[in-house]
Amino acid sequence: MYDLFPNLNNQLLFPVLMYHNCPADFDLQLEYITQIRCLTPVHLNDKQVKSYLLDSVSAPFPKDKIVITFDDAYQDFSERTIKELLSYNCKATLCVATGDINHQERKEPIWTEGKGPLMIWPEIQALSTIKTQEGDDLLAFVPHSVSHSYFNGISAEQIRSEIVDSRQMLVKQLGLLIDNVQFFCFPGGIGEGNPDIQKLLYEAGYIGALRAHASKGHGWSRYSIPRCEPTNLNHLKLLLEKAIDFECS
């Protein structure tokens, strides 16, 4: 029987970057990605990327592509990040913890750890209409749970609710087709190695899930897609220069 959740140790890790707030040198990082390394930022549902994540043994490695993700939907995304993405015509993915996004008043929940207030739904809705120079959606949106509770501290029923309800809210607020929201993002990157949680994601209709940091030699799967968080341009260079051995350390 085909293993839906294989733990892959010998397949190349596809580079997925993770940010929270907009880095001070984000423009330089985007310049390096697009003009020096000549990588094309895409969404997870890019045909080549999705094919590789679904079957990295048979599908070709999308060597000229990269995915850029931002977690939590902080206000500085609408104030700074979006301008930089537009300047370099770079697609990106916003991972939204739906339960703390309001319609009017911005919140700064305890779990944000001082990273700033979150956007409100009208701001996120406006972002969802922005297009690339080619007319594609500049941003993709991924559920990041409802409450941002770590999955190692709540019940299976609560986890199911976090997985299902966050997707439904995102679809409702942004007018998305539920079948087009195919990826999930673990809050805190916690829960990715649990086969029971992977099964819940599969049953909910997700084809993959983002976790937090990659580590050299660790296995991965489409329900445990590793990411790295560059702290600055030099760190980004080190990450991308490793290529095959893509990792965070």
Burial class (CB in 10 A: 0-12, 13-18, 19+), 61: middle
Instruction: Kindly give the pairing relationship between strand 139-143 and strand 92-96.
Output: parallel
In this prediction, residue 13 carries a pLDDT of 81
Each residue's pLDDT tens digit, 43-97: 999 999 999 999 988 999 998 999 999 999 999 999 999 999 999 999 999 999 9
Q: How much is the pLDDT for 1?
A: 35
Phi, psi for 71 (deg, rounded to 5): -90, 145
pTM (predicted TM-score):
0.94
- C-alpha to C-alpha distance for 224 and 198, rounded to whole angstroms: 9
CA angle 90, 96, 97 (to 5 degrees): 160
The tens digit of pLDDT for each residue in 92-135 reads: 999 999 999 999 999 999 999 999 999 999 999 999 999 999 99
Alpha carbon distance 127, 116 (integer Å): 19
Can you list the domains of the chain with their CATH numbers?
16-245 (3.20.20.370)
User: Which element (helix H / strand E) includes 19?
Assistant: strand 16-19
**What H or E segment, with its residue span, contains residue 211?**
strand 208-213
Q: Which residue has the tokens 């902080």?
A: 74
Return the beta strands (E) in 109-200 as ranges: 139-143, 183-185
Whether residue 247 is predicted with pLDDT greater than 60 in this model: the reply is no
Beta carbons of 206 and 179 less than 8 angstroms apart:
no
Write b or e for each residue in 199-234: b if 16 or more Cβ atoms lie within 10 A of its Cβ, otherwise e: ebbbeeebbbbbbbebeeeeebbbbbbbbbbbeebe
- Stretch among 4-13, 56-65, 168-177 having the lowest mean pLDDT: 4-13
pLDDT tens-digit map of 198-241: 999 999 999 999 998 876 667 788 999 989 999 999 999 988 87
